[in-house]
Amino acid sequence: MKILIADDHWVVREALKQVMKRVHQSLEPLEAENFEDALALLRQHSDIDLMLIDLIMPGFDQFDGLKRLRTEFPDIPVVIISVHEDLDYVLRSISHGVIGYIPKSSGGEEIERAIERVLAGEVSFPRRILEQSAAPARAAAETAAPAAKADKGIDLLTNREHDVLDLLGRGYSVARIASALTLSSHTVRVHIGNLMKKLGFKDRSAAIHYAVSLANEAKRQKNN
């Protein structure tokens, strides 16, 4: 399994490689210290299974760069590694289809759990950031249309699907949702698939973005 690590700091790349060795001994890391090198490796290795990339690196203009990356390589799962720990960055990253967001301040165990989740086909976003009290206006504007469409299907959800959506909005992983609701991980994935269809979402990151917006709105109303 090949994982591309794109970060201009060799210390960060080395730390991520060490974490990955603990997660999966057979992982083959590829490294890039700028965006052009990362693109070259992606074009050279069509079998890359996962990409970890810093939002701030030479040649990578944050979300414009992420948009370019997702346009040219839509099938390669992307996880953001970033110094930014505000909700705006996380939500905007989710809106661009990433499957994970790992703050650089995270400890080794936290990074390890995040990588384990994404390698298992789940998503991983920092709960402590997702639970911040209010989503910025920019992130809200980017998801206004999908959210409006999803709102029309919200009444179609079963009680259990509402429960799963609520926990997704709190940043829970599939395994943690399964534990909280006393369900199997497979059953949770089925519920997620069903609610995505009802709400009109094609990928899980969009569903999570919507779930986060609902959770933040509920918290805002509670505090008012």
Q: State the pTM of this model.
A: 0.67
Name the CATH superfamily for 2-130. Answer: Response regulator (3.40.50.2300)
Of 17, 36, 209, the closest CA to residue 130 belongs to 209
Task: Let me know: does 60 contact 53? Beta carbons within 8 Å.
Answer: yes
- Please, what is the end-to-end C-alpha distance for the chain in angstroms? 49
Over the stretch 170-190, which tens digit does the pLDDT of each residue have? 777 787 888 899 998 889 889
Would you say residue 67 has pLDDT above 80?
A: yes
Decide whether 2-130 matches 137-223 in CATH topology. yes
Give the CATH fold of the 137-223 domain: Rossmann fold (3.40.50)
With pLDDT > 90 as the criterion, what percentage of the chain qualifies?
24
Contact 96, 70 (CB under 8 A): yes
Which tens digits make up the pLDDT trace of 71-80? Answer: 899 888 899 9
Domain locations in the chain as residue ranges? 2-130, 137-223
What value does the mean pLDDT take over residues 29-34? Answer: 93
Query: What residues contact residue 101 under an 8 Å CB cut-off, 6+ apart?
Result: 79, 80, 82, 89, 90, 93, 94, 124, 125, 126, 129
Q: What is the CA radius of gyration of the chain?
A: 17
Write out pLDDT tens, residues 104-161: 888 888 888 888 888 877 788 887 777 664 444 444 444 444 555 566 678 889 999 9
